[in-house]
Structure 1
Amino acid sequence: MKRKNDGPALPGEGDTDYARYMRTDALLDLQRSPAEVIHRDELLFQVTHQSTELWLKLAASELAEAIARVEAGEPASAESLLTRATLAVRLVTDQLDMLGHLQPADFQAMQPALGNGSGAESPGWRQTQTACRKLGLAFTALLADRGTDLAALYARDPSDPLFRLAEAMVEFDDRVSNWRVRHYKIAIRVGSHGVIGTAGSPSNMLAKLIDYRFFPELWQQRASTLA
């Protein structure tokens, strides 16, 4: 049996197995060095956004597997995976609170370091968007394979796995909407997206996206069921 003081057993760089498995040397070297920064809050800004990319990478991975489970006719397994993706989006939303510590002057001071970068360019978010579209198509195909539709689905027992998956999709959509709302408010507070109401400003674009839904048919059916 390996003892704790035997030293690292894994190959790679780092003084410990933790460092080698987690690749902490590379991870902690991804932020700009003190010699490079032009404002001390660049570290806060980079850590928040880099961790967002990691959570979105996980969300996209879980969504991809959920799609595979839907295509295999396993809605219960897909629901579990979608729930994990939803939690990742919630954590992305929660950490936006860190950006609330920035003052508009702070953001303006670090702006030159950011170049023309935009959150819309996030690879994690693009992968997540693509996965959501594929999930919607896979879910529609599964309904057809089961010989049912949304109206019949929402008349079923709420414990039905297919019904639960539909509700998990709605929950994911809702979490993304909450993220957009929080992002919009933080952007306005920090002053990073222009003045509210200015035509063509990033703030207006964010505001328009708040009501966007990946699965609008599910929302419409839920509303008509409650009417």
Structure 2
Amino acid sequence: MSCPHNNNYRDMEDSIHTDFNEDMSYADYLRLDQVLSAQQPLSNQHDEMLFITIHQSSELWLKLAGHELTEAIGNIQNADFGHAFKVISRVKQIFIQLTQSWNILSTLTPVDYLKFRDSLGHSSGFQSYSYRKLEFLLGNKNAKLLKVHQSNDRVYQELNKVLVQPSLYDEVIKVLAKQGLKIDKDALSRDFSQPYQSNTSVLNAWLEVYRNEEQFFELYELAEKLVDIEDAFQQWRFKHMYTVQRIIGNKMGTGGSSGVSFLKKALDISFFPELFELRTHL
């Protein structure tokens, strides 16, 4: 009996473009020569390529998340909630993607990592400006963290600009007030370079939204989208901490932090504290 798949071959269709001497190719559009030549291990250890690739790809996802959150802030300022929901949902999926990347990195054993760890010098993910921008956009403001970026004036100026501007949550709180909910003035005109502190009037406003979800459906849906973001972000933070613990234990980080214990502290920081507190009061 003959095999039903004896022609294990796919011929190329005549309509497929093959001449790119004067036309833009896929590689040209994505600048793949630059992207794929950026992986330059500093040691001769096989696993350093994995370490570099995971972190470079994560930086691209972080950059995209910041791009999307900036758009979401603009959408909320313009009361375009439909598009804001779409963009915020995309950010959630980006965080899920980032969380999965730690599973790949966790295949790096402690012994293999130690073979090239010294090549990193004092470089550390803590110095990621895309991550810093993301946290600032979400409301985790800390001016002291800008010191890490002083050596790059362009980055420093960009982050300082985001630091002093209202975060995503600050803009959402303004919407609560515009919808007629009572918000204290100090929550609306605060120093936006400072970390956000839970406010009773904001909590009460959200309680009214949740108790009257049909009347305030867009705000109710927006709140749940924000909870989705924090949920996904915290899972990423936890997986980051746990992966670091798995690989280096309680050693200090390459950037000088205490390592795992420093990462654990981030798990206590909430971007939207009232949205979690209200659940206790419903």
TM-score bin (small chain): 0.7 to 0.9
In the alignment, structure 2 segments of 5+ residues that lack a partner are: 1-14, 140-166, 182-204
Alpha carbons of structure 1 residues 193 and 20: separation in structure 2 relative to 1, 3 Å: farther
Equivalent residues, number: 213
2:208 counterpart of 1:188: no
Distance across 1 between alignment mates of 2:249 and 2:114: 8
Distance across 1 between alignment mates of 2:61 and 2:18: 34
Alpha carbons of structure 1 residues 42 and 163: separation in structure 2 relative to 1, 3 Å: same
- Which of 146, 153, 156 pairs up with 2:212? 156
Alpha carbons of structure 1 residues 32 and 53: separation in structure 2 relative to 1, 3 Å: same
Question: Does the 8 Å CA contact 1:31/1:47 hold for their aligned counterparts?
Answer: yes
TM-fit CA distance, 1:37? 2.8
Distance across 2 between alignment mates of 1:43 and 1:101: 13
2:33 counterpart of 1:25: yes
Paired position in structure 2 for 1:7: 19
Deviations 1:19-54 (A, max 9, x none): 101111111000015xx4331111100110111011
TM-score (normalised: structure 2): 0.71
Distance across 1 between alignment mates of 2:62 and 2:250: 22
Root-mean-square deviation (CA, aligned residues, Å) is 2.0
TM-fit CA distance, 1:202? 1.3
Alpha carbons of structure 1 residues 10 and 220: separation in structure 2 relative to 1, 3 Å: farther
Alpha carbons of structure 1 residues 210 and 45: separation in structure 2 relative to 1, 3 Å: same
What's the secondary structure of 2:40's corresponding residue? coil
Q: Which amino acid aligns with 2:213?
A: D
Please say which structure displays the higher CA radius of gyration.
2
Q: Which amino acid aligns with 2:238?
A: V
Distance across 2 between alignment mates of 1:76 and 1:219: 23
Paired position in structure 2 for 1:93: 99
Distance across 1 between alignment mates of 2:271 and 2:17: 51
- Which of 232, 249, 266 pairs up with 1:209? 266
What's the secondary structure of 1:38's corresponding residue? coil
TM-fit CA distance, 1:170? 0.7
Paired position in structure 1 for 2:115: 109
State the identity %: 30
Distance across 1 between alignment mates of 2:23 and 2:278: 53
TM-fit CA distance, 1:5? 3.4
What's the secondary structure of 2:122's corresponding residue? coil
Distance across 1 between alignment mates of 2:177 and 2:83: 19
The structure richer in helix per residue is 1
Structure 1 runs, 4 residues or longer, greater than 6 Å off: none
Distance across 2 between alignment mates of 1:81 and 1:27: 26
TM-fit CA distance, 1:74? 2.0
What's the secondary structure of 1:59's corresponding residue? helix
Q: Which amino acid aligns with 1:111?
A: R
TM-fit CA distance, 1:75? 2.2
Structural mapping, 1:27-176, within 5 Å: 27-32=35-40, 36-133=42-139, 134-148=167-181, 149-157=205-213, 160-176=217-233
Question: Does the 8 Å CA contact 1:10/1:20 hold for their aligned counterparts?
Answer: no
Question: Does the 8 Å CA contact 1:82/1:169 hold for their aligned counterparts?
Answer: yes
What's the secondary structure of 2:180's corresponding residue? coil
TM-score (normalised: structure 1): 0.87
TM-fit CA distance, 1:128? 0.7
